[in-house]
Chain A
Amino acid sequence: MLGLELDAVLLARIQFAFTISFHIVFPAFTIGLASWLAVIEGLYLKTGEKRYEDIYRMWVKIFAVCFGMGVVSGVVMSYQFGTNWSVFSDKTGNVIGPLLGYEVLTAFFLEASFLGIMLFGWGRVSKKMHFVSTVIVAVGTLISAFWILSANSWMQTPQGFEIGDDGLLYPTNWIEIIFNPSFPYRFFHMVVAAYLTTAFVVGGVSAYYLWRGRHQKHARIMFAMAMMMAVFVAPVQLLIGHAHGENTMHYQPVKVAAMEGNWERGGNKPLYLFGIPNEETETTDYGVKVPNGASWVLTGQADGEIPGLKDVAKEDRPPVIWVFWSFRVMVGLGMAMILTGVCAAVLFFRKRLFTSRLFQLWCMAMTPSGFIALLAGWFVTEIGRQPYTAYGVIRTSESISPVAAEQVAISLILFIIVYTLIFGAGSYYILKLIGKGPSVKKDKGAYYGHTMEASVTKKLTTKDS
């Protein structure tokens, strides 16, 4: 009986982790891409340069595919709170329900409606209005990130509520709830992560064109823009991430201890570049370490005190090795991004930015780096919060729905099959679009074919003849 209950919790966690990891990949890319497309279209309107239009049209197709997958996987998320975490929903509904409600009201409708105009509105609305639609979609994705990250951050650092006699949570201060202590850091870190993810995809794709000697003129624009992001924004991410970590040390010390693989609270703690945390012996084995590194990074002093995993009982600790290694993957990739920016700057001053083949190969290899860093980051955050769903308030094991393990197993298998299929097909079409590249042909016929302008001109020309 106990075994079965545990299984239901584990299965629900795996299902949630799987479906949200799948979901977040698409928003991360569409948040960045929407903003970038708005910039590109703005440049097009300002300069009238045809290349911007070609670039826009190429990426807007990729955007549509990703957005579609983001929407369908997102709708799944909004029902999973109830299907799989009903007790959690019941208890915290008063607090995070309104946040999700606001997300729907202020973001989802906006994105969905103006997406239609963005994709199908060419020629039906003025160029300006089309640009405005793109901007609205971009802003919509940011608003959406605002609310959902507020909800998630509240689960990490809950405040502004009281627990009633009935065991439910009641809000006492909305400002404290929405702007909870970890929210600003998480919001900026995530938005920047989304921008970097997009930048490295665009950079990788344009590097591929440069390498193959295709679409040179378009590729240069894209490549230059992507590298600007690497030069200027990747270091910013390091700073935000660092501040985020300091904040976490204050509010979720055990999570930081897991990230650092540190067991005993104290000063002069090393920074592990490599290591294998062992929950049995409560040590981090095979360490390759920088002496005093962790203390120095987190407190600014070599002998600064940092929290240890042994501060809390065994059952209150997260699965250390996952947090520890996910954190290293994220930070490692962040460093690789900064390195990319440095190389780009050096090559730029040597006037070899667009010609260095080695650098092009490197950028192609970096294409998925944003996605991996982003997922790793979420793994740090979410697994590091265990064994709680709302940190220190509700345990994961108490959050689960009264649904039979078999049902969860079936739905999990269904999701894995369906998502694999959809993901495979989606990637295939995206790769095909990338393979095709920006089309410089005057394919106005196909594009404007159905539009009002086109039908008017058609009517006029047929009248003339």
Chain B
Amino acid sequence: MFDFSTWIDLPLIWGGLIATAVFLYVFLDGFDLGCGILFPFAPSDQCRNKIMNSIAPFWDGNETWLVLGGGGLFAAFPVAYAVLMPALYMPVILMLIGLIFRGVAFEFRFKTDGRDRRYWDIAFHGGSLLAAFMQGMILGNFVQGVTVEGRSFAGGALDWANGFAVVTGIAVIFGYALLGATWLIMKTDKQTQDWARKAARYVVFFVFIGMVIVSISMPFIDPRISDLWFSVPNIFFLLPIPLCTAIAFIMLWRDLHSARECRPFLLSIALFFLAYLGIGISLFPWIVPFSFTVWDAAAASTSQSLLLVGALVFLPIILIYTAYSYYIFRGKSDEHSHY
């Protein structure tokens, strides 16, 4: 039985790996959920076909990062998984149901035309919207922490339904819409691209507001967070994050008024990354905020070691073939049905 715990800080590494998986999920599935959110507002059916085709080869791979996030949490921090899932029971179930509709809509939509297709368009949009909103609510609840007794969730059935979570839910919807719109600027042309650019300009405004609200309220959630950000040496180290965010917003705004095709998407990812980093720093080292740190919740070191070997071997391979698949489907998307 091998065990790396004497050489390295396994829980810390696993915390980092899971945070990375979740971030990859957020920005990868974020752009295809965003496409689903914007879907009904596209000017024509032709545009909608292009939107669908631009993400059809990728959505499944993107969603797999969610499975890795969940599976990784189960494997590396069982107690965190066992506390958070019951605490977030309803939002998780509703998110899954949203993802079901979103996922099958791809396959079913390709098989139909006419009236039927409308239903799957609705399922695609509704599913994406529901999944995005619930992911936002999960985030909102996560940062507030959950009620724990011993090794179990001990809060009420409706704890998850609170105002802050609704705000984060809406913010995530707009955030994903921004990712989706900028993705489409990159992957489509002509009418669809013009529309996507217009949509992005509209959405970016709400993303900005959402980020401001969430950033302002974060320090009020727990004194530890405000101490972290506003004590004297820290504030200088952490200042670059809000500054970079502001710069990214300004650049994005200008790009959206120019003919740039790729940079807006990269800037949107940067915005997400900065926001994510901000939250990550605020909550470190909690894996169930204010109840379990990564060290409290860590699985047996032998379990973490075994899976770490797998992650180190397979994650690079996964990244390579994922990149290969994006490379195969590079270029602008078209409106024809594929099969």
Chain A positions near chain B (C-beta within 8 angstroms): 57, 60-61, 64-65, 67-69, 71-76, 78-79, 81-83, 86-87, 89-95, 97-98, 100-106, 108-110, 112-117, 119-122, 124-125, 168, 170-174, 401-404, 406-407, 410-411, 414-415, 418, 422, 425-426, 429, 432-433, 446-447, 449-450
Contacts and interface: CB of A to CB of B under 8 A. Distances in A.
A282 B85 CA distance: 41
A385 to B, nearest CB: 21
A170 B300 contact: yes
Given A75-B63, A108-B64, A433-B111, A89 B338 contact: no
Interface in B56-105: 56-58, 60-61, 63-64, 66-68, 70-72, 74-76, 78-79, 81-86, 89-90, 92-93, 96-97, 99-101, 103-104
B104 A83 contact: no
A66 B128 CA distance: 20
B322 interface: yes
Contacts of A68: 103-104, 106-107
A408 B90 CA distance: 9
Main SS class of interface, A: helix
B86 A116 contact: no
Interface string B158-174: 00000000000000000
B328 A124 contact: yes
Q: Which 3 pairs across A and B sit closest by C-beta, in order of nearness? A: A93-B78, A82-B85, A97-B75
Given A104-B67, A404-B157, A116 B93 contact: no
B337 interface: yes
B100 A407 contact: no
Contacts of B81: 81-82, 86, 89-90, 93
A432 B111 contact: yes
Contact of B86 (A98, A113, A402, A410): A402
Contacts of A90: 78-79, 81-82, 151-152
Contact of B299 (A64, A79, A97, A124): A97
Contacts of B314: 105-106, 109
Given A116-B325, A120-B329, 10 more contacts: A65-B111, A75-B96, A83-B86, A101-B68, A104-B71, A112-B63, A116-B58, A401-B86, A402-B86, A418-B100
A116 B61 contact: yes
Interface residues of B, number: 70
Nearest to B318: A109
27 contacts: A61-B111, A76-B100, A81-B74, A82-B70, A86-B153, A90-B152, A93-B81, A93-B299, A98-B306, A100-B75, A102-B307, A104-B64, A104-B68, A109-B318, A113-B322, A114-B321, A116-B56, A121-B57, A122-B339, A125-B328, A168-B300, A401-B86, A404-B157, A411-B89, A418-B100, A432-B111, A446-B336
A432 B107 CA distance: 14
Contact of B338 (A73, A76, A120): A120
Given A78-B67, A112-B64, A401-B85, A64 B107 contact: yes
Interface of B: 1, 53, 56-58, 60-61, 63-64, 66-68, 70-72, 74-76, 78-79, 81-86, 89-90, 92-93, 96-97, 99-101, 103-104, 106-108, 110-112, 151-154, 157, 299-300, 302-303, 306-307, 310-311, 314-315, 318, 321-322, 324-325, 328-329, 334, 336-339
A252 B206 CA distance: 60
Contacts of B154: 402
Given A82-B84, A403-B89, A418-B100, A105 B68 contact: yes
A453 B56 CA distance: 20
A119 B100 contact: no
A124 B53 CA distance: 14
Contacts of B303: 93-95, 97-98, 171
B297 to A, nearest CB: 10
Contacts of A61: 111, 339
Contacts of B153: 86, 401-402
Nearest to A92: B78
A346 to B, nearest CB: 39
Contacts of A78: 67, 70-71, 74
Contact of B328 (A73, A121, A415): A121
A105 B100 contact: no
Nearest to B56: A120
A89 B93 contact: no
Contact of B108 (A86, A104, A403, A429): A429
